[in-house]
Structure 1
Amino acid sequence: MDITIPILILAIPLFMFLLLGLTGMKMPHWLAGTLGTAGMGTVLVLSYITALTYFFGGSPQFIAENGERLQAVIFNCTWLQFTPSLVIKLGFLLDPISALMLIVIPTISFMVHLYSMGYMRDHHGVYEHGFQRFYAFLSLFSFSMLGLVVATNIFQMYIFWELVGASSYLLIGFYYKKPSAVSASKKAFIVTRFADLGFLIGILVLSYYTGTFDFMKLTSAPVGGMEGVYQISEQTAMGVKSIFTQSAAPVFMGASVLTWALVLIFMGGMGKSAMMPLHIWLPDAMEGPTPVSALIHAATMVVAGVYLVARLYPLYLMETASLDIVVVVGALTALYAALVACAQIDIKRVLAFSTISQIAFMMVSLGVSRPEFHDGIGYMAGMFHLFTHAMFKALLFLCAGAIIHAVGSNDYTDMHGLRKYMPITNVCFLIGCLAIAGIIPFAGFFSKDEILVACFGHSIFWYIWMSAVAGLTAFYMFRIYYLIFWWKEHRVHEGHHKPSDQPWTMTLPLVILAVVSCLAGFVPMGNLVTWNGVPMFEHANFLTNLAHLDWSVALVSLAVAIVAIVIATVMYRKENPLPDRMADMMPRLWDWCHHRFYWDELYQFITHKIIFGCISRPIAWFDRHIIDGAMDGLAIVTNKASYAIRGLQSGKIQMYVWIYLIGVLLLAAVTAFCLM
């Protein structure tokens, strides 16, 4: 493949960031938005060409003679070289998961760019302050995510990983005059930086023992089942075997160094993907404009942790203890977020906790994936759900943005009965709910079913656990759907305009994403994305997923989803006392779910009472009174001594003669005393 297209995929959003960031304020608003959208549209086309060429082009560069889909480095240039073996390069890596992300990221980013043309204007056509800056930040974020997913080495990934964090900080805090937005952006930045410290330490440990950052050298896994994973490429065999061979692996606190490195790297993924206990930043990140929520929290930034684990999956497979940690963290997070979503009144926060739960689904899928069961179906299922979830969750967030734009509030109590006023948004939101609930034939049904199949093959316990979470997902999504579009007649408050569907720039992305959410489940992902490049399905076509369903699992999950939807329908379709009765029956559970299990209060207690009160305050006192006091005392003594002897340099010759004479006499006396 010619390197021009891959270079342009990265160069165009970077150029748009610089152009809009430096000159945007001198442009008309419409021109800045048009340029940003056109730039991302170009990246979308180029990314599709690259991904489709990889998946379907049949080039020997990408497809081996035995049908295996190969990893291919399109370009790779040296940036920093510390030693002959320790080199940091910047390049472009194509393989099944990076090609998949080249479809996901530009698609959602382009939809957000187009959608924002309408969302960032009020009903009188007045653009929001900082509109050009907003598009510059969108371009920077898109550049960062694209650079992350095509990284040829783990240090390049880390560089763009941090750029993604900086971009999200800028976008979440876009309304910088609003204290809650500033607080949310700082919270997101600090929490993810703490997680990224673990990521960096893990990278350093891994690279120290392997002598490389390169992904192809670290994860080279020839076809051949489980044994193939342990075969490392010749270039790094000597450096890697020291930690990959269990008998020779250095051990720290009962775990191998490789396990520690992978757990620390996963810590970075926990922060970006908002896994417990590092999840607290994501709900507050809703303070940014709603298109930001769709871009960051639906399809791109939050899946970076999933992508990280998938990228290093062959290494994780060597240390299954680290995969067990991934499963436990993911399962706990999925259940927690689903319970909390059932008791929120802010529609964006319902979707935020839904995102946390669904990302945890993907983590669990990767964690339970083992080559001996359906050739690692969990790996494919996790990436499949990443793809489908990106589409329907972006759809749900953009629908929420259209509702907020029409009503002027995030609170569902200000909505109700909007189906008559916003029919297009109603249908699109319903499609998103059906998709995330896992109703056939919508996209989420197929990817969720594959995850449950992987869980079933790994452990019946995790299968039951994740099936319950899937049921909760269907319940809380239809709860919020009915509360927004049904429940009771909408009341237009005095001085407010009547809500309606939004301009075409906002409606078109909804329609496109709704169509994709209906069809994405039929993409033969089992033939495109597998852990070792071998297709799962012998003959892949549009109906492959339907033909290869495990109906014993699918029917159960479908039944659970339908029962959950029926319960939500009975409770929330029409105004009735059932929800209040349920809350009164379980007041403690409702209170804990509504207050997010008091995680924010726990962090406030730990930071303010323990860290600031018990640790920082004594340190500050010691610094102020002991360290500063010692320095101040030294200065006072020096000042007083100087004041006392200032007469010695008065400039009077008589005084100098007397001092000279006294000095000579003292010296003579000392000399005589010594000679005695």
Structure 2
Amino acid sequence: MIYKAIVFLPLIGFLIAGLFGRKIGDRASQLITAGLVTVGAILSWKVFGNIAMGGGKDSVHVLDWVNSGTLHFAWAFKIDTLTAVMLVVVNSVSALVHWYSMGYMHEDPDKPRFFAYLSLFTFAMLMLVTSDNLVQMFFGWEGVGLASYLLIGFWFKKPSATAAAIKAFVVNRVGDFGFALGIYGVFALTGSVMFDDIFANIGQFQHATITFLGHDWNAITVVCVLLFIGAMGKSAQLGLHTWLPDAMEGPTPVSALIHAATMVTAGVFLVARFSPVFAFSADALHMVTIIGASTAFFAATIGLVQNDIKRVIAYSTCSQLGYMFFALGVQAYDAAIFHLFTHAFFKALLFLGAGSVIHAMHHEQDMRKMGGLWKKIPFTMAVMVIGNLAITGVYPFAGYFSKDTIIEAAYLSDAAGSQYAFVMGVAAAFLTSFYSWRLAFMTFFGETRADHHTFDHAHEGPWVMRIPLAVLAFGAIAAGFLGHHYFVGEGASTFWNHAVVVHGGEEEHIPFAIKESPFVAMLLGLLLAAWFYLRKTDLPKRTAETWEVLYDFLLNKWYFDELYDFLFVRPAFWIGRFLWKRGDEQTIDGYGPNGIASAVATIAARARKLQSGYVYHYAFAMIIGLAAFVTWFMAHGAGL
């Protein structure tokens, strides 16, 4: 019963707020949805204690679903350590976001709708992480996509918000198409969509092939690549990442929920869940490693020059997801999920902290119009500095344990692409430190660049916004050293209990220089950011002018949007207009309903002219008709 309560309480909250929000009012809608998700979060921690810490597993049958030929599966929950970790992450962050939103959205007129969408998103994510078969996972996968569309476009009267929501929806459909093909491929190969059946039998198909374009491909590799394409879409990996920065158009609590702990980590969860399948495809793992490492570096370079406080953190999310994926690629699945766990706390903290800054600055998001805010919002400054210490990997904060474990796992691995991942990981650590401290220095320190009215009236948010920040700050401090022993340390094998493969790296054999390289990179980034934004404040502008081409390249996000616009968007619009104007209007409508209607109208117009009202016209028509009738009768009678 406890598992059903965890999953369905957010659904109940969604239905109450969505259907009856106007009747029960704003306050009741907020309290009901936040309260139900909070109960789910408390129960999730209880499950974490029983399953993850207690070394247990469970399976819960909800209802029979499909039984058609050889395809049969039920709606059921697969509860193991991986699920327990995800339940804690999803429900805890969601509960804190719900409470935080009460303060952040207090002026919005559509609060019941917003809180209903938050709860729907939470339910869909819980469906995804508790699934025990691919179809159920796909149901949750698409539910998350729908809810994210609704949340990103929540302020639908803003053209930029609706455009961002559509972009997120369309880009994710590209990845979802790959995921759907992967599901079909798994069923064609193994005859099942149930996880336990797939994992138990996949080994016998390691030499099976699929013929495509006249070439034989390893079947498991094809399936893994297709599943990974689905993961790339949801987790915004290089190539399918363009939706994520634009998603900042949604309210800031949405950014925290989507980009910290839930939607963007769905791809990481998918690959981790299918680790027994990926283990049979070195090529697929190589692809995961290269794309993950490239994403970690690529997104970090863009974060260096962004001026919107939320976009900096968004590209940070993209970069951190790259770390998780290259950890999966070198088969350090435990390290990847550990970073997912710690990242949820410090990234939600940074997003909600940014929301407090925006709230204090009357919705201003440009860091060039901030500065000196530590005097006005010292609590927000303190928690965001904690978030920075965690994400940049300062001991003993959370990121130090999880991110360094990933970098060390890449160095120790002998898998293809692992050394590339190690180099990119260290480089991204340097860039992460620079842009994170750049954000802090531009926002909180130095002389203020805000207008006097805005700066004078800046103030901390209400307690309902500050308490979630304090809880997340504690997580950003403690999650790393409290979880290290269990997630990746000596207790990992017992903790994971075969939910994922434990990498078991021998960190003691790593050279001192390699082990300390992330710390050195972090320190260099911090010192460089301090030099640029505290000591020589004219240096950023002069550097941008000196390296104008490189600066524009990074500011324009490597021109991915422009490239996709040229390759895909414009041709799609051209084809659409051609089919609309030539195909639909001129051909189908022209010769179809519009053509027939036009012909009838023309004939009717000409016939109407016969009714002139003059008697001699009617007499003439009668004579002509009589003559025609006599002629026909004579011809017929003569046998002609």
Q: TM-score, normalised by structure 2?
A: 0.89
**Who is 2:89 aligned against?**
104
Contact 1:488-1:575 within 8 A present in 2 as well: no
Question: Relative to structure 1, is the Cα distance of residues 182 and 320 closer, same or farther in structure 2, using a 3 angstrom cutoff?
Answer: same
Distance of 1:43 and 1:249 partners within structure 2: 44
SS in structure 2 at match of 1:92: strand
The structural deviation recorded for 1:548 is 10
Among 565, 570, 574, the alignment partner of 2:531 is: 570
**Who is 1:165 aligned against?**
145
Distance of 1:427 and 1:99 partners within structure 2: 31
Contact 1:383-1:529 within 8 A present in 2 as well: no
Contact 1:343-1:590 within 8 A present in 2 as well: yes
**Who is 1:95 aligned against?**
80
Q: Which amino acid aligns with 1:8?
A: A
**Who is 1:56 aligned against?**
53
The structural deviation recorded for 1:328 is 2.0
**Who is 1:441 aligned against?**
396
**Who is 1:73 aligned against?**
59
Match status 1:300 vs 2:300: no
**Who is 2:239 aligned against?**
277
Contact 2:304-2:435 within 8 A present in 1 as well: yes
Distance of 1:503 and 1:642 partners within structure 2: 73
Distance of 1:662 and 1:608 partners within structure 2: 70
Contact 2:121-2:143 within 8 A present in 1 as well: yes
Among 541, 548, 551, the alignment partner of 1:590 is: 551
**Who is 2:224 aligned against?**
262
SS in structure 2 at match of 1:488: coil
After superposition, what is the alpha-carbon deviation per residue over 1:38-91, rounded to whole angstroms, capped at 9, x for unaligned? 1111101111112211123355xx3xxxxxxxxx322253212221x2024211
**Who is 1:520 aligned against?**
479
Distance of 1:51 and 1:635 partners within structure 2: 69
Question: Relative to structure 1, is the Cα distance of residues 662 and 193 closer, same or farther in structure 2, using a 3 angstrom cutoff?
Answer: farther
Distance of 2:514 and 2:286 partners within structure 1: 23
Among 280, 283, 288, the alignment partner of 1:326 is: 288
**Who is 2:420 aligned against?**
461
SS in structure 1 at match of 2:147: helix
SS in structure 1 at match of 2:402: helix
Question: Relative to structure 1, is the Cα distance of residues 51 and 551 closer, same or farther in structure 2, using a 3 angstrom cutoff?
Answer: farther
Among 496, 499, 517, the alignment partner of 1:529 is: 496
The structural deviation recorded for 1:625 is 3.2
Contact 2:206-2:219 within 8 A present in 1 as well: no
Match status 1:249 vs 2:216: no
After superposition, what is the alpha-carbon deviation per residue over 1:564-622, rounded to whole angstroms, capped at 9, x for unaligned? 11111111124522212222232111111111122222222234533323x33443444
* Structure 2 unaligned spans of 5+: 611-621
Among 337, 340, 357, the alignment partner of 1:386 is: 340
CA RMSD of aligned residues (A): 2.9
Distance of 1:215 and 1:110 partners within structure 2: 29
Between 150-159 and 27-36, the greater mean CA deviation after superposition = 27-36
Distance of 1:292 and 1:195 partners within structure 2: 21
Match status 1:178 vs 2:138: no
Match status 1:362 vs 2:324: yes
SS in structure 2 at match of 1:128: coil
**Who is 2:383 aligned against?**
428
Question: Relative to structure 1, is the Cα distance of residues 128 and 625 closer, same or farther in structure 2, using a 3 angstrom cutoff?
Answer: closer
Between 354-363 and 638-647, the greater mean CA deviation after superposition = 638-647
Match status 1:38 vs 2:54: no
Distance of 2:391 and 2:307 partners within structure 1: 19
Contact 1:380-1:531 within 8 A present in 2 as well: no
Distance of 2:634 and 2:186 partners within structure 1: 72
Among 349, 356, 367, the alignment partner of 1:412 is: 367
Q: Which amino acid aligns with 1:75?
A: H
Distance of 1:311 and 1:202 partners within structure 2: 14
Distance of 1:658 and 1:37 partners within structure 2: 90
* Structure 1 unaligned spans of 5+: 63-71, 122-126, 222-229, 232-240, 370-377, 539-544, 670-676
Distance of 1:520 and 1:396 partners within structure 2: 16
Between 144-153 and 190-199, the greater mean CA deviation after superposition = 190-199
The structural deviation recorded for 1:95 is 1.6
Question: Relative to structure 1, is the Cα distance of residues 274 and 365 closer, same or farther in structure 2, using a 3 angstrom cutoff?
Answer: same
After superposition, what is the alpha-carbon deviation per residue over 1:327-381, rounded to whole angstroms, capped at 9, x for unaligned? 2222222211100000000000000000011111111110121xxxxxxxx1111
Distance of 1:658 and 1:95 partners within structure 2: 95
Distance of 2:634 and 2:177 partners within structure 1: 66
SS in structure 2 at match of 1:73: strand
**Who is 2:251 aligned against?**
289
The structural deviation recorded for 1:392 is 0.3
Between 475-484 and 622-631, the greater mean CA deviation after superposition = 622-631
Match status 1:8 vs 2:8: no
SS in structure 2 at match of 1:250: strand
Question: Relative to structure 1, is the Cα distance of residues 576 and 533 closer, same or farther in structure 2, using a 3 angstrom cutoff?
Answer: closer
Between 106-115 and 593-602, the greater mean CA deviation after superposition = 593-602
Distance of 1:464 and 1:495 partners within structure 2: 43
After superposition, what is the alpha-carbon deviation per residue over 1:650-674, rounded to whole angstroms, capped at 9, x for unaligned? 9x998998698578669x66xxxxx
Contact 1:88-1:156 within 8 A present in 2 as well: no
Q: TM-score, normalised by structure 1?
A: 0.84
Question: Relative to structure 1, is the Cα distance of residues 635 and 151 closer, same or farther in structure 2, using a 3 angstrom cutoff?
Answer: same
Q: Which amino acid aligns with 1:619?
A: L
**Who is 2:127 aligned against?**
147
Distance of 1:535 and 1:360 partners within structure 2: 20
Contact 1:530-1:536 within 8 A present in 2 as well: no
Between 202-211 and 548-557, the greater mean CA deviation after superposition = 548-557
Among 401, 424, 448, the alignment partner of 2:355 is: 401
Match status 1:451 vs 2:412: no
Q: After TM superposition, list the pairs within 5 Å mapping 1:464-503 onto structure 2.
A: 464-489=423-448, 491=450, 493-494=452-453, 497-503=456-462
Distance of 2:36 and 2:247 partners within structure 1: 26
Contact 1:449-1:553 within 8 A present in 2 as well: no
Among 572, 577, 593, the alignment partner of 1:611 is: 572
Between 529-538 and 506-515, the greater mean CA deviation after superposition = 529-538
Distance of 2:387 and 2:311 partners within structure 1: 16
**Who is 1:17 aligned against?**
14
Question: Relative to structure 1, is the Cα distance of residues 25 and 97 closer, same or farther in structure 2, using a 3 angstrom cutoff?
Answer: same
Question: Relative to structure 1, is the Cα distance of residues 331 and 641 closer, same or farther in structure 2, using a 3 angstrom cutoff?
Answer: same
Question: Relative to structure 1, is the Cα distance of residues 455 and 653 closer, same or farther in structure 2, using a 3 angstrom cutoff?
Answer: same
Q: Which amino acid aligns with 1:56?
A: M
**Who is 1:66 aligned against?**
none
SS in structure 1 at match of 2:192: coil
The structural deviation recorded for 1:498 is 2.6
**Who is 2:195 aligned against?**
215
SS in structure 2 at match of 1:499: coil
**Who is 1:113 aligned against?**
98
Distance of 1:395 and 1:413 partners within structure 2: 22
SS in structure 2 at match of 1:494: helix
Question: Relative to structure 1, is the Cα distance of residues 609 and 177 closer, same or farther in structure 2, using a 3 angstrom cutoff?
Answer: closer
Distance of 1:510 and 1:550 partners within structure 2: 38
Question: Relative to structure 1, is the Cα distance of residues 339 and 14 closer, same or farther in structure 2, using a 3 angstrom cutoff?
Answer: same
Q: Which amino acid aligns with 1:579?
A: P
Contact 1:379-1:531 within 8 A present in 2 as well: no
Q: Which amino acid aligns with 2:72?
A: V
Among 353, 358, 361, the alignment partner of 2:315 is: 353
Distance of 1:662 and 1:193 partners within structure 2: 73
Distance of 1:453 and 1:603 partners within structure 2: 35
Question: Relative to structure 1, is the Cα distance of residues 291 and 546 closer, same or farther in structure 2, using a 3 angstrom cutoff?
Answer: farther
